[in-house]
Amino acid sequence: MNKIIKLFLITLLLSSSLFGISSKYYKDKFEVTKKLYLSAIMSNNKIKEIDYLKKLIRYGDKLKLNTKKYKRELNRIDKNTVLRNPIKVQSILKPKYTIKSVIQDKNTITINFNQNINRSYIKFSEKKDRRSYYDEFDIKGSFKDAGPMKLSIFGIDKIQIFQYKKKILRISLKHRKNLKTIYLINKKQIVIKILNLRKSNKKNKKVKKVKLLPTDIFYPSKKIIVIDAGHGGKDSGAVGKKRLYEKNVVLKISKYLKQNLERKGFKVYLTRSRDRYVKLLKRTKYANAKHADMFISIHANAARKSSARKAHGIESYFLSPARSERAKRVAALENKGDMKNMGWSSKNSLLTILNQSKITASNKMAIDIQKNMLYYLRIKYGKRAIRDGGVREGPFWVLVGAQMPSVLVEVGYVSHPTEGRRISTKSYQKLISKGIAEGVESYFIKN
């Protein structure tokens, strides 16, 4: 009998202690939920208000508290809103379509979202068939009016917007010439701009004008660019009329380029900021030490007296064993600084091994820089005056050893009577530096 009484007393003590533990647990929960509920009221979040009210009622009932005021408030919210069903609440606050609108104004297409976005929301690609160029933007999101729908911008053959996949909206621009397109990102907005369009003589009154929010051009964060002004000091480089030295011209262009890139948010270093001689391999060593994301070497070209009047134009090179005699000739002029002792076969063998992983990236970068240099120079001087020397492969020793995509730019011929005179002017130097900077920006946007 005594054993039964002892067991009863032990059970009673355990149950009372467990009740005490349970009571403390719900009391703590109740107090925390009350604070969260007040926070939801301050932020006007109806979903959380309802959720915390239900928890307050549940915890209050466990603690045998008076929860009438919480029940009244829950009923009031239910009566004054159409948010009774939690599924409906979700559909109202998070719309089915994440893209609010797509608006065109002149040379701009603006995509407005229902939420904040980042750079992962857009992917850009280019392609070409026999007759047309295509710029395609794949945008993360769904749009109610994507049918496909069509937009009309003067100077572009065809623009299509369609839901490429369930959660990918595609904007496709088709034109017989290669378009220069960039995009910009806001908190809730992507703006696509087409820069090289012909101006229409007729005003399109049907186009809805949109006041765009202040925008920040998308740049990969903390990108480092090293600019190398070719030659310098005892090495004057090419020489034109009236003692026009390549080393002086390219230093001025490099300084203008530095200013342009810094305005865009890039961190920029110069291998030389004054007239001094720097060995070729030390230039890329400097870029590697700065952990650069891009290396650009600026040079000016020259031709023999017999062909000085014919040779002109701008060219971009990336490191690779040269396939053309012209590239070999230009490389020989730029390489003679401190690579005299190595034979051609040895150089070619070494170039085959070096920088293989960066050749593709360097090629893409050279294409963007070349295209933009041509664009800005031709605005002022005309298409015929600025010859496109193209993007070429070349065995340039200043690019050897660079642990990042690298390009050598020939900004024109100092030996040409007209082009040489232009190269010495501030207007030409500023325009070509602007074109290079736009090419750098374009490369990072696309890659």
Domain CATH number, residue 142: 2.60.40
What is the rounded distance in angstroms from the CA atom of residue 138 to the CA atom of residue 164? 8
pLDDT tier at 92, thresholds 50, 70, 90: very low
Residue 32 CA: distances (Å) to CA of 25, 36, 53, 57, 319? 11, 6, 12, 13, 64
Say which range, 64-78, 120-134, 424-438, has the weakest mean pLDDT.
Answer: 64-78
pLDDT tier at 420, thresholds 50, 70, 90: very high
Of the residues 200, 217, 234, the one at which a domain ends: 217
Of the residues 59, 92, 125, the one at which a domain ends: 92
Residues 311 and 379 in one domain: yes
Residues 197 and 228 in one domain: no
As for how many domains the chain has, the answer is 3
pLDDT tier at 260, thresholds 50, 70, 90: very high
pLDDT at 70: 82
Decide: pTM greater than 0.85: no
pLDDT at 159: 86
- Asked whether residue 259 carries a pLDDT value surpassing 50, the answer given is yes
Residues 121 and 66 in one domain: no
pLDDT tier at 350, thresholds 50, 70, 90: very low
What DSSP state is assigned to residue 198? Answer: P
* Residue spans of alpha helices (H) in 290-425: 325-335, 344-353, 356-381, 417-423
Query: What angle, rounded to 10 degrees, do the helices at 68-80 and 46-62 form?
Result: 150
CB 323 within 8 A of CB 267: no
pLDDT tier at 69, thresholds 50, 70, 90: confident
Element holding 26 (H helix, E strand): helix 2-42
Q: Hunting for tokens 């229409």 — which residue is that?
A: 200
Tell me the mean pLDDT in the region 399-409.
83
Q: Which amino acid is at 439?
A: G
Residues 137 and 255 in one domain: no
Residues 52 and 123 in one domain: no
Residue 14 CA: distances (Å) to CA of 1, 22, 235? 20, 12, 94
Walk across the sheet containing 267-270 and list its strands.
Answer: 267-270, 224-229, 294-301, 406-413, 314-319, 388-394
Residues 240 and 278 in one domain: yes
Q: Is 352 helix (H, G, I), strand (E, B) or coil?
A: helix
Residues 211 and 270 in one domain: no
pLDDT tier at 78, thresholds 50, 70, 90: low
Token digits for 147? 């049918």
Residues 193 and 237 in one domain: no
CB 406 within 8 A of CB 294: yes
pLDDT tier at 6, thresholds 50, 70, 90: very low
pLDDT at 210: 37
- Asked whether residue 424 carries a pLDDT value surpassing 90, the answer given is yes
10-19, 44-53, 235-244, 292-301 — most confident range: 292-301
Say which range, 12-21, 45-54, 60-69, 98-107, has the weakest mean pLDDT.
Answer: 12-21
- Asked whether residue 261 carries a pLDDT value surpassing 60, the answer given is yes
pLDDT tier at 397, thresholds 50, 70, 90: low
Is the omega angle on the peptide bond into residue 148 within 30 degrees of 0, that is, cis? yes
- Asked whether residue 82 carries a pLDDT value surpassing 70, the answer given is no
- Asked whether residue 151 carries a pLDDT value surpassing 80, the answer given is no
Position with higher pLDDT, 206 vs 35: 35
- Asked whether residue 283 carries a pLDDT value surpassing 60, the answer given is yes
pLDDT at 213: 36
The DSSP secondary structure of 167-182, one letter per residue, reads: TEEEEEEEESS---EE
pLDDT tier at 149, thresholds 50, 70, 90: low
Residues 189 and 266 in one domain: no
Tell me the mean pLDDT in the region 195-202.
60
Residues 37 and 142 in one domain: no
The boundaries of the domain holding residue 57 are 2-92
Interior angle at CA 114, CA 110 and CA 115, nearest 5: 105
- Asked whether residue 90 carries a pLDDT value surpassing 50, the answer given is no
Residues 150 and 284 in one domain: no
pLDDT tier at 200, thresholds 50, 70, 90: very low
Residues 421 and 382 in one domain: yes
Of the residues 39, 58, 92, the one at which a domain ends: 92
pLDDT at 220: 47
- Asked whether residue 292 carries a pLDDT value surpassing 70, the answer given is yes
Token digits for 300? 């000016």
Mean pLDDT value across the chain: 78
